[in-house]
Each structure stands twice: as structure tokens, then as C-alpha cells.
Amino acid sequence: MSIRDNLELIHEEIARAEALAGRPAGSVTLVAVSKFHPVSSVLEAVKAGQTVFGENRVQEAVPKFQEVLSNSPEISLHLIGSLQRNKVRQIVPLAACIESVDRIELLREIGKHTTASGKHMSILFEIRTGEESKSGYTSEDDLFRSLDLLCEYPFVHCRGLMTLAPQTDNESTIAGSFSYMRRLGEACSVRYPELDFSVLSMGMSSDYKIAIREGSTEVRIGTAIFGERR
């Protein structure tokens, strides 16, 4: 199947999952994860109507999306992988959203570069709900300290939370991870009514239907669209 066919199938499955969960049609955004796939594949997805893409590594995303954006400036790049502080300067000019803000030091670095450049940046705060090897906030107090700091950075805009589910075949464990994220987002909205927590980025190729059932507003899908990584 072509990338266009795969995208059509994924959109149909998302719509079905929305309906089963009693969610409005179009309530879930699809991020096409294009890591390890060439510019030609990204442009093929753009031609099929895809507008939001996710990349994990700055060193791959920068040259790839400099070319993609020169051809299709309307698309949005989301940085979804772990971000080192010394790579923030490179990704800020290209990305529309950094989804993997996982510590206060990284937030400070993003704040510094957005202030210096005048570039507005949407961010999601990554919460660790799975393996110890994954990044993300593990303490709600640490998350709240970062949220308290946002007032110092007028070009950095909170949009919500992100997580990777535990790597398991146990659906109840995965659903529990996503359910916790929904409750945490609701708690953050009450604690910080001036901030935007409308985005819950959770769910990938193997578990996005569970994520939608549990309240995800954004799913990150790569293999089911682009095929196996090269």
C-alpha cells in the first residue's frame, strides 16, 4: 500500500475509535512520525494531505525539514524525541512544537532561545508513565515547578502533556497509563487555569485506539504510515 493509502486507513481507524469513545469527529490530531524516512516520503505524505510531522532526533530533523519546509511551508514539525540542551538552538527555528520537555533545565534553555529569537514555541510536558529508561517527569511537584516558571518566558506556550505508554501487551496497564495522564491534565487545568492543557499526546501505532478511548487528542504514528524504518 502507498503512503496515501496508509494515511486514509489510519484516518478511518481514528474516526472509528472516536465514534466508539463517544468523541466528536476530528477531535484527534494525527502526527506522522517520519524518523528514518527520507524527504521524498514526507513530501508524499504532504501531497496526501498530512500537515503535522514528528521527528525524534535534531540531527536528522534539521536537514530533512529545512528541505521539506522550503517545499511545503504550511506543514508543522513537532520534536517528539529526547532533546539535549545543546541542540535547542538548532531546533527552535524549525519546530512548531517541542513535545518532549522533560525537565526544568530544558525549559529554561528553550525559554532563553525563544526570547532571544522572538520565536513563539508550543511545548508539551513529557510525563514518564512507562519504563525507567524513558525520559519524562516522574514527580508532579517537579512538573508544577516547571509550570510555575512559564511566566518568565512569554514566547513559550504550554499546550498540554505527552507520554509513552509502558511496553507491554497488557491493555489494562496501557489504559491505566493513559487514564492517569487524562486525570493529570485535568488537575493541571484546575491548578493553572491561565495555561492551555488541551493537548494529550499519547498513543502510537500499537496502542493509539486505547489512547483515543482514554482521552488522547493527538496520536503519533509512524510505521503504520511509512512502513518499517530504513
Q: Tens of pLDDT along 97-122?
A: 999 999 999 999 999 999 999 999 99
SS3 label, residue 157: strand
132 pLDDT more than 90: no
Q: Which residue has the cell 525559554?
A: 111
Whole-prediction pTM: 0.96
Q: Residue range 30-48: average pLDDT?
A: 96
How far is residue 195's CA from residue 28's CA, in Å, rounded to a whole number?
20
Find how far residue 41's CA is from the centre of its chain. 20
Residue 28 in grid coordinates: 484527534
Which pLDDT tens digit goes with each residue over 212-225?
999 999 999 999 99
Q: Are strands 199-201 and 97-101 parallel, antiparallel or unpaired?
A: unpaired
Q: Residue range 88-92: average pLDDT?
A: 97
Mean pLDDT of the chain: 96
Torsion from C-alpha of 109, 221, 218, 110, nearest 10 degrees: 10
133 pLDDT more than 70: no
In this prediction, residue 71 carries a pLDDT of 87
Q: Which residues pair with 122 in a beta bridge?
A: 97, 157
Residue 58 in grid coordinates: 535534531
Spell out the long-range contacts of 109-116 with Cβ–Cβ below 8 A and sequence spacing 24 or more: 109/85, 110/153, 110/156, 111/149, 111/152, 111/153, 111/155, 111/156, 113/88, 113/89, 114/153, 114/155, 114/156, 115/153, 115/154, 115/155
Please report, for residues 64, 86, 136, 186, 190, the alpha-carbon distance to residue 59 in angstroms, rounded to integers and kept in the order given: 9, 12, 21, 35, 38
In this prediction, residue 69 carries a pLDDT of 95
In this prediction, residue 230 carries a pLDDT of 61
The secondary structure element, H or E, covering residue 76 is: strand 76-79
pLDDT level of residue 135 (50, 70, 90 thresholds): confident
Which pLDDT tens digit goes with each residue over 170-195?
999 999 999 999 999 999 999 999 99
